[in-house]
Amino acid sequence: MVELSHDSRPIIGRGPPLGATFLTLALLSIALMVADQRYPQIQRVRSWLTAIAFPVQKGVDLPFRAWNWLGESFADRNRLRAENLELTGRLRLANLQLQRFAVLEEENRRLRDMRENSAGIAERVLVASILNVDLDPFRHRVLLDKGAADGVFQGQAILDAEGIFGQVARVNAQTSEAILISDAEHAIPVQSNRSGVRTIAVGTGDPAKLSLPFVTTEADLKVGDLLLSTGIGGVFPRGYPVAQITKVERAATATFALVEARPTANLDRDREVLLAWFQPAVPETPAPAAQATASASVPPAPASASPTPARAGASPTPAQPGASPRPAQAAPGASTPRAEPRQ
């Protein structure tokens, strides 16, 4: 076991010296890192590599899924009955509300059509489940089991039953990586439901907290205000709940108020989320300052700074639910060429 030479590799077939191998590989990794940051073409290399990674991730996910399945299969009969009763009750209530909403939605659509603007409402959704795989503990990212093969594209909005969940940051062949709205690198344009104040909600790295750093002390925001998505930027559909304000602090000397909000979506409890397809809204007069901040602070999918001229031609035709959502998603400026599914 004792080797006397300092270089301990076999004498015959030794290959290049250790230092040279080290240097080559080190340069190669640096080149890879630069390419990953600068050139979208490298995503193709990554998607080959994820073909290897996918079975591993699936394999890690499987036992947890099986355990959950077992837990559900052998659930207590009484518990299931109680759950069933409760769900039936809730369904009845929901149906009742739905009837009212159907009328309202029709009316809303007619009004929007009158304004030649039926965009900004999710038309088609796809249920994706979150794989039981831990990515970086310091970033709020999750892996979804739907990828380019299912038509997922970069910058796609992700919702859950309670509100906006996040957006797709990277698309692989069979999986996609989602960035949560609570990730410290994420920002979303929002609007107060009560007062209509528009601002940006930035993630903090805490799943129960968003921060609103660009609110002046005079802005009309109160604790309890519901923040809705504005649809500005074209990434998220308009009018979905994002967060509820939990704290407003105005210091007499400061320009900006300290405002915090709690996301309405169950960011840390969801197992299944919805990928949404919609026609992005074209804001009539986007606030230039908010726009610039939004596009600057959402790196994975730069918000569209300029509404594309194609939208003017597309908007008079009312949104047909389910009717070929592809062109709708290809149109917005938010999806850069690399965000196209299936290259």
Partner 1 sequence: MRGDDFGSRFAYWFSVAIGLVLAIVPLPDRFDPVRPDIALLAVIFWVLARPRIAGLGYAWLAGLLLDVLRGMTLGQHALGFLVVAFIAHRLQLRMRMFPLLMQAGTVMLLLALYHFIIFWTDGLTGHGYTGWSRWLPVFSGALLWPLIVAAGDTITRRSR
* Chain residues that interact with partner 1, rule: CB under 8 A: 1, 3, 6, 8-10, 15, 18, 21-22, 25-26, 28-33, 35-37, 42, 45-46, 49-50, 52-53, 56-57, 59-60, 64, 132-139, 141, 143, 170, 177, 184-185, 205, 268, 299
CB of 66 to partner 1, least distance (A): 14
Residue 139 or 250: the one with the smaller Cβ distance to partner 1 is: 139
Residue 197 or 208: the one with the smaller Cβ distance to partner 1 is: 208
Neighbours of 244 (CB within 10 A): 17
Spatial neighbors of 170 by CB under 8 A, at least 6 apart, are: 43, 154, 176, 177, 300
CB of 146 to partner 1, least distance (A): 15
Helix, strand and coil in the chain, % to nearest 5 = 35, 20, 45
CB of 184 to partner 1, least distance (A): 8
CB of 302 to partner 1, least distance (A): 14
Distances (CA, A) of 160 to 163, 166, 174, 240, 272: 5, 9, 21, 10, 8
Spatial neighbors of 337 by CB under 8 A, at least 6 apart, are: none
User: What are the structure tokens assigned to 283, written together?
Assistant: 């804001």
Packed helices 42-73 and 18-38: angle between N→C axes, nearest 10 degrees = 80
CB of 135 to partner 1, least distance (A): 5
Distances (CA, A) of 229 to 142, 159, 290: 21, 11, 13
Residue 67 or 101: the one with the smaller Cβ distance to partner 1 is: 67
Residue 32 or 96: the one with the smaller Cβ distance to partner 1 is: 32
Residue 29 or 88: the one with the smaller Cβ distance to partner 1 is: 29
